[in-house]
Amino acid sequence: MIVFEFKAKGKKSQYQAIDEAIRTYQFVRNKCIRHWMDNKGVSKAALSKYTKVLARSYPFAKNLNAMSRQAASERAWSSIARFYDNCKRGIKPVGYPKFKKHSRSVEYKTQCWKLLSPKRIQFKEFGTLKLIGTYDLAFYPVELIKRVRVVRRADGYYVQFCIKLDVTEEVEPSGRAIGLDVGLEYFYTDSDGHHEENPRFYRRNEKRRSKLNRRFSRTEKGSKNRAKARIRLAKLDLKISRQRIEHAKRVARCVILSNDVVAYEDLKVKNMVRNHKLVKSISDAGWYQFRSWLEYFGKKFGKITIAVEPHFTSQNCSNCGEVVKKSLSTRTHKCSCGCELQRDHNAALNILKKGLGTAGHVGTSLNQWNASGDLTKSQQLPELASGRTVTALLTDSGLSMKVEL
């Protein structure tokens, strides 16, 4: 699937109708969760049938078309299925399904909407909306549009088109492998010693955000000034979020196109943000978004992405393997063997060796092919889905790699 997003322009009455559809969509989703809690063994099909009962019981739920009600039940079932999957795999916390308090979107399947032109779409509930964007929907057949989602954000309403399309592209192999170590001082440091600066979008706007937050807290609840102050604050948060996403997307694309094998740490960011001293900086770095885009572009361009365990990547010496204990404030790695490197550069070299030595996984599915993790002779990965074979060789001059098509 690929997603095209357009800004939606309409009348005030249409925006009110969209808000009402979003509230109804949230209501159906929450009622499906409650039905699952009260009745053991409820299946996905039973939840879909339950939406008909809701339409007969609540007149406002009947105003929302059947396709959208089914999409709401599927959204509820996705949280239930994730809960079951976490229980089977022993993941904690298991993520028990919760009720939605603040929904922002309503989803439609293949009916109840009509594309009048590449820049105009008509919905059954709230009429025709004008689409503002640069994507050309006329290039794709309407049959490939599987979902249409209307999203409400701080700066207006958007329409998203989910198009079923193969997005893989063939690019020339570069014959290079790289290891990435993400951090707070630099956004990432690779095994070649290159540092990507950390943009720190939140820190840049922190003073302005604090000022807007103080203005918001001084307003009276329920007043128009409070609503305006809330929108100004939400718009700034939205801008910071978009800056972070675009930066991660741009950097990940450049890394994937420049290398055939990319190794990175399998960090548990959700656990790391429990540190109250570093939570703001870690969240501002956007490590998880960067990894998600790495894996996406790796699949799109047929490159190999390997996630390795992060244990001792900063403590071990990349030259001799000896453990050199150091705190977070120590930014230089010094070993008795004479190796002296910047801390993140040393970690990136260890990540690359781990990635080529243990193969980790491509996304989450590659099997381990050398349990010891020692790269002492020429070793070869089996042929992957991309049809390429990677050969890694540790020589006296360093680590070399060859990619064969």
Indicate whether 197 pLDDT > 80: yes
Token pair, residue 358, equals 């243990």
Burial category of 150 from C-beta neighbours within 10 Å (exposed 0-12, middle 13-18, buried 19 and up): buried
What average pLDDT does range 388-392 have in this prediction? 44
239: pLDDT strictly greater than 60: yes
State the Cα–Cα distance between residues 72 and 28, nearest whole angstrom.
6
Token look-up 């948060």 returns 237
The C-alpha atoms of residue 195 and residue 188 are separated, in whole angstroms, by 6
**What number is the average pLDDT over the span 200-204?**
94
Which position has the higher pLDDT, 129 or 363? Answer: 129
Look at residue 372 and tell me whether its pLDDT is greater than 50.
no
Please name every residue paired with 53 in a beta bridge, in sequence order, or none if there are none: none
Q: What is the pLDDT of residue 359?
A: 54
Question: What is the chain's mean pLDDT, rounded?
Answer: 85
- The rounded distance, in Å, linking the Cα atoms of 338 and 241 is 43
Least confident of 5-14, 61-70, 319-328: 319-328
The count of residues in the chain is: 405
Characterise 222 by phi-psi region: left (phi > 0), alpha (psi -120 to 50), beta (else): left
Average pLDDT, integer, range 336-355:
87
φ, ψ for residue 99, nearest 5 deg = -80, 140
What is the C-alpha end-to-end distance of the chain, expressed in Å?
27
- The pLDDT of residue 328 is 81
For residues 339-363, average pLDDT: 78
The angle that helices 206-218 and 224-258 make with each other, rounded to 10 degrees, is: 160
**Is 76's pLDDT higher than 70?**
yes
Q: How far apart are CA 6 and CA 133, in angstroms?
A: 5
Please state which of the ranges 83-97, 126-140, 271-285, 372-386 shows the lowest mean pLDDT: 372-386
Q: Taken in order 162, 257, 265, 190, is the CA torsion positive or negative?
A: negative
Helices and strands (H and E) in the chain: how many? 11, 17
Q: Once rounded to an integer, what is the mean pLDDT over residues 205-223? A: 95
pLDDT of residue 385: 36
In this prediction, residue 204 carries a pLDDT of: 94
> Residue 371 — pLDDT band, cuts 50, 70, 90?
very low
Name the 3-class secondary structure at 302: coil
The pLDDT of residue 200 is above 80: yes
- Judged against a pLDDT cut of 60, whether residue 271 lies above it is answered with yes
Q: Is 77 exposed, middle or buried (0-12, 13-18, 19+ CB in 10 A)?
A: buried
What is the C-alpha to C-alpha distance for residues 73 and 17, in angstroms, rounded to an integer? Answer: 21
Average pLDDT over residues 116-129: 90
Top-confidence residue, 388 or 164: 164
Interval 71-89 mean pLDDT: 93
Closest C-alpha among 401, 314, 348 to residue 195:
348
For residue 19, the model assigns a pLDDT of 94
